Amino acid sequence: MTNLQNYSLENVEFMIDAIKTKLRMATAAAMQASSFDSDKYEDIKDLYDIVSSKDSFSISEVEALVSELGKLRK
């Protein structure tokens, strides 16, 4: 398992890819790890933890999570 405790571009990429896959994002190509600042790392990790903890999501949950992810972009 990847150690996600500390910031690295690789960790951001791993988490963003996992979130995109789990949420089956239609706009996944628009979300690149380089689009996020390192000071948003804890927020990205929080979203990753939420997404990883659930097996399925309602449409409104997906919309809310994608919206939050969008707010974290540069």
More confident call, 44 vs 20: 44
H-type alpha helices, the chain: 9-23, 41-53, 59-72
53 band by pLDDT with thresholds 50, 70 and 90: very high
On the question of pLDDT at 26 being above 60, the answer is: no
What are the tokens at 36? 């996020």
Q: Provide the CB-side half-sphere exposure for 14 (13 A, CA).
A: 15
Contact present, 32 and 17 (Cβ < 8 Å): no
On the question of pLDDT at 1 being above 80, the answer is: no
28 band by pLDDT with thresholds 50, 70 and 90: low
